[in-house]
Amino acid sequence: MKKILVTTLGVALVAGLAWATPEEDRLAFIDYHKKRFPNVAVEDYVNGVYAINPPAYQQWLQIEEFPPYELAMAEGKELFETPFANGKTYADCFPNGGIGIRQNYPYFDAETGQVKTIELEINECRERNGEKPFKYSKGKMAAISAYMAFTSRGEKLNVVIPDDPRALAAYEDGKEYYYSKRGQLNFSCADCHVASSGMMIRADMLSPALGHPTHFPVYRSKWDDMGTLHRRFGGCNKQVRATPLPAQSEEYRNLEYFLTYMSNGMEVNGPGARK
C-alpha cells in the first residue's frame, strides 16, 4: 500500500501511515481540525471558511438571505422535471426518483470497478435516454446537481468504502492525490487546506479541508457563476501552476471519494455561495 508522508505538513495524521484504514484516516482528520481550531464545532465546517472567520460569516449570512444560486437551482429543478424526448426523466435513472440522495455520493460501483459521482450519473442518464451529455463543470450540469443537492439538505454524508480491494485502491489513489505536491509551485491540496488552513493568501483566508464537499455545487463571486466540485479541483490545479485534469477524470473522482469520506457524518448544505 502506498505510503503518504504528511510530516512535512507538521501534522501527525494517522492518514499518513501506510496501513491506516479509511475510518482511522477520517477520525485523525477530524481530530487534527479540532486541535487546529478548538473553538469551532465539527458540524460548523459545512460552512467552509466562514466557520473559522467570524466577520466573513456575518457577511455570508446576509448573502444567504438572497442567495445567488437560487436562479440556477430553479433552472435545475425545471431541467430535472422536464421529460426527455423518449418521455422519461432523470427520476427514472436514480434511486428514490433522484430526490434526497446526494449524501450517498460518490460511491464505488462494483459493476464498473469505478467511483461514480452524481454528475457522472446525470450524464450517463442522459446518454441512456438518447440525449447529448452536458459539460461537467458548470452550466446546466451545475444547475441540476445544485437542485439535487438542495433536496438532500440536512442529510448526513454517507460515503461507503465496501469490502472490495478496488474500492480501497480508489480511495488510496484519492488520498495520494490530495497529499502529493504538483505544479511549478510544488503545492499539494493539503498544503493549503490542511497545513495552512486559516492563513491568508493575498486577501483571502484559506478554508479548512473538513467539510469541503458538503456545499457543492457553489456559486462563486469570482466566477459570477455556478460550478461543480471538479471545476474547483481544476481551479486549484491552475493556481499552483499544474495542468488541470478533465472534470470527471478517474483521478478527480477518486479525489472526491477520499475527500467526501473525510467529511462523512456531516450535513449536506449545498448549493452554497462562496467568494
Q: Which residues are catalytic?
A: 236
**List of residues 6+ apart from 168 with CB closer than 8 A:** 22, 161
Q: Is the distance from CB of 142 to CB of 72 less than 8 angstroms?
A: yes
In a 3-state reduction of DSSP, which class is residue 163? coil
Q: In sequence order, which ranges of 37-180 are alpha helices (DSSP H)?
A: 54-65, 70-81, 118-128, 139-150, 165-179
Name residue 156's beta-bridge partners.
267
What is the C-alpha separation between 76 and 92, in angstroms, rounded? 16
| The three grid cell numbers given for residue 159, joined into one nine-digit string | 460515503
| The three grid cell numbers given for residue 18, joined into one nine-digit string | 501506510
Name residue 201's beta-bridge partners.
204
What is the C-alpha separation between 85 and 59, in angstroms, rounded? 44
| Interior/surface letters 198-233, b for 16+ CB within 10 angstroms, e for the rest | eeeeeeebbbbbbbbbbbbbbbbeeeebbbbbbbbb
Q: What are phi and psi of 219, to 5 degrees?
A: -95, 120
